[in-house]
Amino acid sequence: MKELTQSSTLKELYSTPIGHDTIGRVLLQLNLSEKWITGSLIGNLKLKTLMKLTKKSLGEGFWNALLHLINQEKDLPLDRTPEAMPKEPKKTWWKEAVIYQIYPRSFADSNGDGIGDLKGITEKLDYLKDLGVNAIWLSPVYDSPNDDNGYDIRDYRKIMTEFGTMEDFDELLKKTHEKGMRLIMDLVVNHTSDEHEWFRKALSDPDSKYRDYYFFREDTGKEPNNWVSFFGGTAWNRYPEQNAWALHLFSKKQMDLNWDNPNVREDVIDMINWWLDKGVDGFRMDVINYISKEAGLPDGDEAIGSMMMFYGIEHYYYGPHLHEYLKEIQDKAFRPHGAFSVGETPGVGREMAKLITGEERGELDMIFSFDQLDMPGRVRFDYYEYDLNYYRDYIIDWMEHYGNNCWMSLFYNNHDNPRMVSKVTKDPAFNVPVEKLLAVMQFTLKGTPFVYQGDEMGLTNYDFHSIEELSDVESKNRYQELLEMHAPEEAFRIIRTGTRDHTRVLLPWNETAKNLPDHLTQSPDESITDFYRDLIRLRREHPALIYGTFKVLSRKKNRFVYERSDGSENFVIECNLSKDARPASFRPDGYEPVLDPKGAGPVLAPYEARIYRKKTEA
Decide which of ligand TEU, Ca ion, none touches 117; Cβ closer than 5 to 8 Å per partner kind: Ca ion
Q: Which is nearer to ligand TEU, 223 or 474 (CB)?
A: 474
Binding ligand TEU (rule: CB under 6 A), the pick from 118, 187, 287, 536 is: 287
Residue 227 near ligand TEU by CB under 6 A: no
Q: Which of 21, 147, 286, 608 is catalytic?
A: 286
Residue 324 near ligand TEU by CB under 6 A: no
Binding track, positions 139-168, relative to ligand TEU; x by CB under 6 A: ---------x--x-----------------
Collapsing DSSP states into helix, strand and coil, what is residue 143?
strand
Residue 474 near Ca ion by CB under 5 A: no
Decide which of ligand TEU, Ca ion, none touches 526; Cβ closer than 5 to 8 Å per partner kind: none
Decide which of Ca ion, ligand TEU, none touches 109; Cβ closer than 5 to 8 Å per partner kind: Ca ion
Number of residues in contact with ligand TEU, rule: CB under 6 A? 11
Task: Give the separation between CA 605 and CA 598, rounded to whole angstroms.
Answer: 13
Decide which of ligand TEU, Ca ion, none touches 611; Cβ closer than 5 to 8 Å per partner kind: none
Helices (H), 205-311: 262-278, 302-308
Residues 116-155 within binding reach of Ca ion (CB under 5 A) = 117
Task: Give the separation between CA 173 and CA 177, rounded to whole angstroms.
Answer: 6
How many Cβ atoms from other residues are within 10 Å of residue 194's Cβ?
A: 23
Task: Give the separation between CA 378 and CA 554, rounded to whole angstroms.
Answer: 27
344 catalytic per annotation:
yes
Decide which of ligand TEU, Ca ion, none touches 230; Cβ closer than 5 to 8 Å per partner kind: ligand TEU
Q: Which is nearer to ligand TEU, 286 or 455 (CB)?
A: 286
Binding ligand TEU (rule: CB under 6 A), the pick from 109, 117, 256, 286 is: 286
Cβ burial 39-58 (10 Å sphere, 16+ → b, else e): eeebbeeebeebbeeeeeeb
Q: Count the residues in the chain.
A: 618
Nearest to 323 by CA among 267, 363, 266, 294: 363
Binding Ca ion (rule: CB under 5 A), the pick from 5, 40, 92, 111 is: 111
Decide which of Ca ion, ligand TEU, none touches 85; Cβ closer than 5 to 8 Å per partner kind: none
The alpha carbon of 1 is separated from its chain's Cα centroid by a whole number of angstroms, namely 30
Task: Give the separation between CA 555 and CA 563, rounded to whole angstroms.
Answer: 12
**Min separation Cβ 160 and Ca ion, Å:** 11
**Min separation Cβ 596 and ligand TEU, Å:** 35
Cβ burial 123-153 (10 Å sphere, 16+ → b, else e): bbbeebeebbbbbbbbbbbbbbebbbbbbbb
Give the bridge partners for 367, in sequence order: 343
Give 174's Cβ-side CA count (13 Å radius): 7
Give 615's Cβ-side CA count (13 Å radius): 2
Q: Which is nearer to Ca ion, 117 or 152 (CB)?
A: 117
Task: Give the separation between CA 572 and CA 570, rounded to whole angstroms.
Answer: 7
Q: Which is nearer to Ca ion, 109 or 456 (CB)?
A: 109
Decide which of Ca ion, ligand TEU, none touches 513; Cβ closer than 5 to 8 Å per partner kind: none
Q: Which is nearer to ligand TEU, 256 or 351 (CB)?
A: 256
Decide which of ligand TEU, Ca ion, none touches 111; Cβ closer than 5 to 8 Å per partner kind: Ca ion
β-pairing, 155-159 with 142-143? antiparallel
The residues, any chain, with a CB within 8 Å of residue 28's CB and separated by 6 or more, are 376, 377
- DSSP letters, 326-372, are HHHHIIIIIHHHT-EEEEE-TT--HHHHHHHH-TTT-S-SEEE--TT
**Min separation Cβ 141 and Ca ion, Å:** 12
Residue 115 near Ca ion by CB under 5 A: yes
Decide which of Ca ion, ligand TEU, none touches 604; Cβ closer than 5 to 8 Å per partner kind: none
Q: Which is nearer to ligand TEU, 9 or 499 (CB)?
A: 499
**Min separation Cβ 148 and ligand TEU, Å:** 5
Task: Give the separation between CA 60 and CA 609, rounded to whole angstroms.
Answer: 47
* Cα dihedral value 232, 236, 237, 242, nearest 10: -170
Residue 113 near Ca ion by CB under 5 A: yes
Binding Ca ion (rule: CB under 5 A), the pick from 21, 109, 148, 363 is: 109
Nearest to 368 by CA among 317, 408, 310: 408
Binding ligand TEU (rule: CB under 6 A), the pick from 10, 13, 188, 228 is: 188
CA 264-268-273 angle, 5° bins = 150
> 17-29 and 350-357 helices cross at what angle (nearest 10)?
150
Task: Give the separation between CA 583 and CA 115, rounded to whole angstroms.
Answer: 48
Q: Which of 344, 455, 474, 563 is catalytic?
A: 344
Collapsing DSSP states into helix, strand and coil, what is residue 159?
strand
Binding track, positions 397-436, relative to ligand TEU; x by CB under 6 A: ------------------xx--------------------
Residue 42 near Ca ion by CB under 5 A: no
Q: Which is nearer to Ca ion, 115 or 600 (CB)?
A: 115
Helix then strand count (H, E) for the chain reads 22, 22
Binding track, positions 337-356, relative to ligand TEU; x by CB under 6 A: -------x-x----------
Decide which of Ca ion, ligand TEU, none touches 188; Cβ closer than 5 to 8 Å per partner kind: ligand TEU
Residue 250 near ligand TEU by CB under 6 A: yes
**Min separation Cβ 254 and ligand TEU, Å:** 6
Decide which of Ca ion, ligand TEU, none touches 151; Cβ closer than 5 to 8 Å per partner kind: ligand TEU
**Min separation Cβ 104 and ligand TEU, Å:** 13
Task: Give the separation between CA 400 and CA 494, rounded to whole angstroms.
Answer: 36
**Min separation Cβ 146 and Ca ion, Å:** 14
286 catalytic per annotation:
yes
Residue 230 near ligand TEU by CB under 6 A: yes
Output the CA–CA distances (angstroms, integers) from residue 495 to 8, 465, 492, in the order listed. Answer: 43, 11, 5
> 322-329 and 262-278 helices cross at what angle (nearest 10)?
40
User: Nearest-CB residue to ligand TEU?
Assistant: 151
Q: Which is nearer to ligand TEU, 282 or 599 (CB)?
A: 282
Residue 318 near ligand TEU by CB under 6 A: no
DSSP 89: P
Positions that interact with Ca ion (CB under 5 A): 109, 111, 113, 115, 117
Q: Which residues in this chain contact ligand TEU in the complex, by CB under 6 A?
A: 148, 151, 188, 230, 250, 286-287, 344, 346, 415-416
Catalytic residues: 286, 344
